[in-house]
């Protein structure tokens, strides 16, 4: 009898999968990501029937409120996790920056794929850069992190919330509701919209969110064989970098309610890592900034570097800028 993921017994990791179902949000960008993972799996396992289960999440449905007011980025993953639990899907594909920093019991971040451009992008129909925007120009962003930097550098601009999927946000710009919007460059590039980018924002001071530009694949802990099948899709430089970033964010209560940035890069030749992070007030008037570097050859060492940067930020008084601070823990 053929073995599938939905049978009661688990196949050997060395046995190729025969059927895999990917849970994904139904936005155009999310579906691009799911199709990309589907293609990678089909190339790796040509005889596997790889299907996509499209879903709408609460994060997609609630568009009239800021994420920080309605439950945070976890709203984009809960329905997908339910599909994993009830057996409708075997893996869920996420933009990694949307994945909560602490995984729920029973779930694993099983795979981190190669990162796209992690920078933020300036998009406007009338202006070439943030510096060109006139007094009172409306800039849209969904991120408190971006908002804090913009308010600090450009107090004469009007920063307004911007929700919806990428196409919805671009549509609001094209209707004239905003003079400019700030988006993750990765999504624009993946959907072939790089030509809409007027400027890439530098990592200093526009440090991205932890995990920005990377794809994460979530599975159930009770299905280790699926994690084994996904292992060839892991990208080590990205995995190490986001491990450090997510450790910083985890220690500082990273959520939509905290203007928190963390970006790391791993030098494969020298086996070393650099990381930059900040915590700020939403108005941009207070900021704690820290960076770190050192030899890194494992996830544990990457997390240790991230933890050191988080402790540096706390020593500077970052806790005063964080609504609810979690207890600091050592890397696990």
> Could you give the C-alpha distances from 153 to 131, 159, 200, in angstroms and in order?
10, 12, 16
State the catalytic residues.
98
CA distance 287 to 318: 8
The SS3 call for residue 176 is coil
**Residues 6 or more apart from 76 whose CB is under 8 A from it?**
25, 57, 59, 60, 94, 98
The SS3 call for residue 140 is strand
CA distance 180 to 246: 29
Contact 248, 277 (CB under 8 A): yes
The angle at the Cα of 34, spanning 30 to 35, to the nearest 5 degrees, equals 115
CA distance 174 to 124: 9
Beta strands in the chain (DSSP E): 19-25, 49-55, 91-95, 107-112, 120-123, 138-141, 158-161, 180-184, 197-200, 215-220, 260-267, 272-280, 287-295
DSSP label at 329? -
Rg (CA), the chain: 20
């Amino acid at each position: 009898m053929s073995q599938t993921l939905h049978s009661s017994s688990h196949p050997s990791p060395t046995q190729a999968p025969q059927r895999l179902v990917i849970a994904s949000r139904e936005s155009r960008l999310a579906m691009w990501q799911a199709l990309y993972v589907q293609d990678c799996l089909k190339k790796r396992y040509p005889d596997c029937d790889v299907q996509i289960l499209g879903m709408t999440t609460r994060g997609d449905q609630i568009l009239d409120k800021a994420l920080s007011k309605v439950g945070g980025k976890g709203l984009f993953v809960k329905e997908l996790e339910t599909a994993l639990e009830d057996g409708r899907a075997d893996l869920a594909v996420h933009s990694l920056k949307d994945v909560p920093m602490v995984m729920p019991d029973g779930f694993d971040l099983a795979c981190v794929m190669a990162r796209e451009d992690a920078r933020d992008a300036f998009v406007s129909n009338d202006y070439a850069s943030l510096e060109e925007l006139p007094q009172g120009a409306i800039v849209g962003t969904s991120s408190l992190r971006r908002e804090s930097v913009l308010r600090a550098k450009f107090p004469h601009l009007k920063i307004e919330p911007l929700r919806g999927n990428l196409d919805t946000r671009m549509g609001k710009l094209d209707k004239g509701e905003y003079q400019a919007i700030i988006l993750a460059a990765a999504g624009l590039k993946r959907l072939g919209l790089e030509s809409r980018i007027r400027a890439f924002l530098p990592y200093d001071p526009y440090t991205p969110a932890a995990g920005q530009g990377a794809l994460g694949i979530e599975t159930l802990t009770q299905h280790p064989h699926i994690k084994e099948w996904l292992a060839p899709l892991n990208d080590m430089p990205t995995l190490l970098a986001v491990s450090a970033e997510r450790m910083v964010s985890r220690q500082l209560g990273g959520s939509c309610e905290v203007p928190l940035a963390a970006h790391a890069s791993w030098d494969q030749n020298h086996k070393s890592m650099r990381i930059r992070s900040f915590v700020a007030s939403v108005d941009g008037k207070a900021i704690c900034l820290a960076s770190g570097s050192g030899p890194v050859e494992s996830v544990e060492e990457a997390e240790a570097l991230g933890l050191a940067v988080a402790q540096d930020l706390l020593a500077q008084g970052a806790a005063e800028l964080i609504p609810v601070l979690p207890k600091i823990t050592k890397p696990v």
